Amino acid sequence: MAPKKGVAVAAKKKPEKAKVVNPLFEKRPKQFGIGGALPPKKDVTRNVRWPRNVTLQRKKRILKMRLKVPPALNQFTKTLDKNLATNLFKMLLKYRPEDKAAKKERLVKRAQAEAEGKTPETKKPIIVKYGLKHITYLIEQNKAQLVVIAHDVDPIELVVWLPALCRKMEIPYCIVKGKARLGSIVHKKTASALCLTTVKNEDKMEFSRVLEAIKANFNDKYEENRKKWGWWVSWAPSHRPGPRPRRKF
């Protein structure tokens, strides 16, 4: 037979000690009003004090959204499409200026040729031109065949007149995204504009196609873009541009 389970003996409860209350100290609830107790600590991780440059960027963005943009500045919002820009930058990369290492190598070869009594090669390579003064001179002399302008030049007054000059001289121009992208082509941090004066014979067919597309998008639409204002954005629906929504009764 299975052994009988023993009956559990009830545990003896220890007598609770009575709390000693000092009659001198009276318990009062905290008052968190003005001049009262300090409030308990809260989780304030969401309340970030942003750096000054971040707050300025955000304020500048909101100001740009609130103000009407004149046509001369609004044209810089219309940039070259992605496919055409890719083809353009592929071509520009073929005509990059030489960097320090390539220049040093060329000068060493030239010095060796002169030391051996040979005539060194003095033919100028075809490269992309940069520098705002130099590009302006090339446009005025009608030597430029294509001008590429960055859309985010700061201050914009540096290049705001460049499309009008290109149109007057009947030189194809385009606006692309990123002054840093233009700067990477000429071994600089940024570049406001680039210029091509000529291309190699093997690239002339492709270059003519790119020029036709750029003329259709920019030179031919200059008069149209010259009259288009950039609209502002407002939180109130009644202030937004366009027809107001009608109420349904």
Inside any domain, residue 54: no
Inside any domain, residue 233: no
Classify residue 205 by burial, with Cβ atoms within 10 Å: 0-12, 13-18, 19+. exposed
Inside any domain, residue 79: yes
Inside any domain, residue 57: no
Place of tokens 């930058």: 89
Decide which of 16 and 187 is more confident.
Answer: 187
Any idea what the CATH number is for the domain that residue 98 is in?
Answer: 3.30.1330.30
Inside any domain, residue 220: yes
Q: Residue 16 has what pLDDT?
A: 80
Mean pLDDT for 4-9 is 61
Inside any domain, residue 86: yes
Least confident range of 19-23, 32-36, 71-75: 19-23
Inside any domain, residue 91: yes
Is residue 192 within 8 Å of 179, Cβ to Cβ? Answer: yes
CA angle 189, 181, 54 (to 5 degrees): 70
Decide which of 12 and 183 is more confident.
Answer: 183
pLDDT band of residue 132 (cuts 50, 70, 90) is very high
Mean pLDDT for 218-230 is 90
Mean pLDDT for 194-205 is 94
User: What mean pLDDT value characterizes the chain?
Assistant: 87
Is residue 48 within 8 Å of 54, Cβ to Cβ? Answer: no
pLDDT band of residue 101 (cuts 50, 70, 90) is confident
Place of tokens 């750096």: 51
CA angle 174, 167, 185 (to 5 degrees): 30
Strand ranges for the chain from DSSP E:
129-130, 146-150, 173-176, 193-196
Q: Residue 21 has what pLDDT?
A: 83
Range of 129's domain? 71-225
Least confident range of 6-15, 92-101, 138-147: 6-15
Mean pLDDT for 58-82 is 89
Inside any domain, residue 147: yes
pLDDT band of residue 103 (cuts 50, 70, 90) is confident
The token pair at 7 is 């009956």
Q: Is the pLDDT of residue 218 over 80?
A: yes
As a whole-number percent, the residues of the chain with pLDDT over 90 amount to 53
Total structural domains in the chain? 1
Q: Is the pLDDT of residue 231 over 80?
A: no
